[in-house]
């Protein structure tokens, strides 16, 4: 299609292109990926952002200030920070990410795809690392106050995910180093989260090839963006 070219799934030319179309003037969408470490979130976030022509970002990080905070969080010993300190650092990073990257782009009509967002804090700091769900909710309400339009939880067997994650040898293994039982607890947390927010959160079977998962994700994202809940 001459109008949409590489953005084909989101063609805005309503005259003859067979691509799925978005209503004219529709606002940018905020889509997040969640799941345990090594589940394939980064791979899928990148694929979806490319397919949608959306801005790809990540947490912790996504703005220059938040990337500096990221280094404090993902490197070093597992016990380096208390869960309370972690919540404050993740929330500080998220606030900067929201102010400097996410909100300005959404307001310009761009779509944003983020590899993790507030659901990670709900599950890691609220459930798995500590039972601090109440504190997480208060800080989220006061400092962030935004939910994604759509969230994909990539659900993968924790043993598979752990071996995928550690095989990367990224030097960012502070959380992976907490082991298999921790990843299993996280998985339960993400599945419970999907039950709590059924309209927003979709669980994707990540135990397939990356290409098959990406096709499933894109189909669902296009369905959502063209559906009654978005526009």
Q: Which residues form the interface with ligand TYD (CB under 6 A)? A: 37-38, 41-42, 59-60, 74, 90, 115-116, 120-121, 124-125, 165, 172, 175
Q: Does 158 bind ligand ADP (CB under 6 A)?
A: no
Give the residue with the Cβ less far from ligand TYD, 10 or 117: 117
Whether the CB-CB separation of 34 and 120 falls below 8 Å is answered with yes
Tokens 């220059």 locate to 64
Q: In this structure, what token pair is assigned to residue 200?
A: 């927003």
Q: How far is the CB of 6 from ligand ADP (least distance, A)?
A: 22
Residues 26-85 that bind ligand ADP (CB under 6 A): 35, 37-43
Whether the CB-CB separation of 47 and 152 falls below 8 Å is answered with no
Give the residue with the Cβ less far from ligand ADP, 105 or 164: 164
Q: How far is the CB of 224 from ligand ADP (least distance, A)?
A: 21
Please choose, out of 143-151, 164-172, 181-189, 221-229, the segment that lies near ligand ADP by the rule CB under 6 A. Answer: 164-172
d(CA 77, CA 74): 9
Q: How far is the CB of 133 from ligand TYD (least distance, A)?
A: 13
The residue ranges of DSSP E strands in the chain, in sequence order, are: 30-34, 55-58, 112-115, 150-155, 201-205
- The one of ligand TYD, ligand ADP, none whose footprint includes residue 175, by CB under 5 to 8 A per kind, is ligand TYD
Q: How far is the CB of 117 from ligand TYD (least distance, A)?
A: 7
Whether the CB-CB separation of 164 and 38 falls below 8 Å is answered with yes
Q: How far is the CB of 65 from ligand ADP (least distance, A)?
A: 22
d(CA 112, CA 120): 17
d(CA 44, CA 60): 17
Phi, psi of 213 (to 5 degrees): -65, -40
Q: How far is the CB of 118 from ligand ADP (least distance, A)?
A: 17
Q: Does 209 bind ligand ADP (CB under 6 A)?
A: yes
d(CA 86, CA 67): 15
What is the CB neighbour count within 10 angstroms for residue 105? 17
Binding residues (CB under 6 A) for ligand ADP: these are 35, 37-43, 164-165, 168, 206, 209-210, 213
């Amino acid at each position: 299609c001459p109008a949409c070219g590489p953005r084909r799934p989101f063609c805005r030319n309503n005259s003859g292109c067979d691509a799925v179309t978005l209503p004219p003037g529709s606002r940018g969408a905020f889509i997040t990926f969640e799941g345990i470490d090594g589940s394939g979130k980064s791979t899928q976030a990148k694929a979806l952002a490319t397919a949608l022509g959306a801005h790809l970002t990540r947490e912790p990080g996504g703005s220059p200030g938040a990337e500096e905070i990221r280094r404090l969080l993902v490197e070093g010993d597992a016990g380096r920070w208390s869960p309370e300190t972690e919540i404050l650092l993740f929330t500080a990073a998220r606030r900067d990410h929201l102010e400097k990257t996410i909100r300005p782009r959404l307001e310009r009509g761009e779509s944003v795809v983020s590899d993790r967002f507030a659901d990670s804090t709900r599950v890691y700091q609220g459930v798995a690392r500590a039972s601090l769900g109440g504190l997480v909710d208060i800080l989220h309400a006061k400092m962030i106050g935004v939910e994604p339009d759509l969230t994909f939880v990539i659900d993968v067997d924790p043993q598979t995910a752990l071996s995928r994650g550690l095989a990367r040898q990224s030097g960012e293994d502070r959380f992976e180093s907490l082991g298999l039982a921790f990843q299993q607890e996280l998985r339960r947390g993400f599945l419970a989260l999907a039950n709590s927010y059924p309209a927003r959160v979709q669980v994707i079977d990540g135990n397939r090839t990356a290409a098959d998962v990406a096709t499933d994700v894109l189909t669902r994202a296009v369905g959502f963006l063209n559906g009654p809940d978005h526009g």
